[in-house]
Amino acid sequence: MSQHLIQSLPVSKFKFDKNTFELPPDCFVFGLYTLAKMAHGVPPIALLFAEHSFSYWDDHHTSEQIIDPMTEFTRFGFFRHHQDPYLMVTPDGVYGEMADLLSERCGISIDVLPFTDFDRLLRHIRDQFDQGSPVLVDFNMGYIPSRHQYKIILEYEHTIFLTQFDHATQAFLISDQDVVDDPVPLDDFKACFHALIKMKGTFNCYQVTIDREKNAGLTLAQIKLDVQKNVDNLTTDHPALGIQAVRCYLQAMERMNCDNKTFYTFGTWVFPTQRRLQMRWCKIAGKTLTEPEQQNALGQLESHLTATLRKWSEYAMLEKLIRKTDRISPEKLVKKGIEAATLELESAKLWVNLQYTL
């Protein structure tokens, strides 16, 4: 039956325009918001992401099995930090902090469609393709040939869109926030289906419903909540979080300056991704915060976020270039890292200043 269903999959004309993507720092949120945005008018995604929160590992190494120039010299790692549950999937639905924000601020409710039978999954995909719609699914990086985890790390979960099935090559085309129309052969797709069944009990697809009555702005209560979270995240005494984490990274940069060896810091994408969304959050918050002292504090914060975005983006560019040319020394990369991290140290003060005006 499976082969008959595969042959019956319609030729989908659906194609993502990557220039229209919103790029939140989470593949699941990206998928859910993109799905909602395609069919409905939804409030800006920046309503969800005031977050100024990250953790740091001073001795982070990727899998030794992955032979990849980008990770060969990994020494340090940054990660987004959030409280769990964040987006917890259960048979009854999706719960957690981000699920609540999606519902309360954007009017997005999440429906989980769990599959344990491959033929039933194919029928669902066929029905969605018939309607000209992509299918949002849980997947696994270890079964995507273009990814460095392919057939090496088989528990690296990801969320993707199935957009088309290419009958000539017998491959699904998948898309996420990084890649559009990436081919996954049918055999890999089947293997991923069975692997997720074994690991989690189901292969999940997702759909969303929309409450069109949601306001596209931020209330004062919501702004206070977002600011408080950032102040707490940045001022914690935990050595691997917030400003303490930045100080640890600065110490590491000083050590690397002495070693003068090539190195790579995993996860610095967290900073520019967060800053871009925060700058848009500031614009939205400015429509609610109209008192002069609030506008002044918000303006100072926005200027700071703009400056940190520029510094971290410059650092990320140098990290790419240093692996392609000998003209950029580790010393230059260290200097740029120190500049970005030193500026990041000022972040807590700017959020606290805004908090005083609320």
The pTM score is: 0.90
What is the residue-wise DSSP string for 153-201? -TT-EEEEEEEEEETTTTEEEEE-SS-SSEEEEHHHHHHHHHHHHHHHS
Cβ(129)–Cβ(13) below 8 Å: no
Q: Which residues in the chain land under pLDDT 70?
A: 1, 59-75
Q: Could you give the CA distance from residue 176 to residue 26 in angstroms, rounded to a whole number?
A: 11
pLDDT at residue 74 in the model: 58
> Using one digit for the tens of pLDDT, what is the confidence trace for 46-88?
999 999 999 998 765 554 444 444 445 556 788 899 888 899 9
Determine the pLDDT at residue 67.
40
User: Which two three-digit tokens encode residue 16?
Assistant: 């993502």
Please give the class, per CATH, of domain 2-43+107-210. alpha beta
- Residues 296-322: pLDDT tens digits? 999 999 999 999 999 999 998 888 887
* Domain parsing of the chain, residue ranges: 2-43+107-210, 74-81+217-356
Residues 6+ apart with CB under 8 A from 200: 138
Separation between Cα atoms, residue 264 and residue 122, nearest integer Å: 41
Cβ-contact 286, 298 below 8 angstroms: yes
Residue 326: its pLDDT value, please?
A: 75
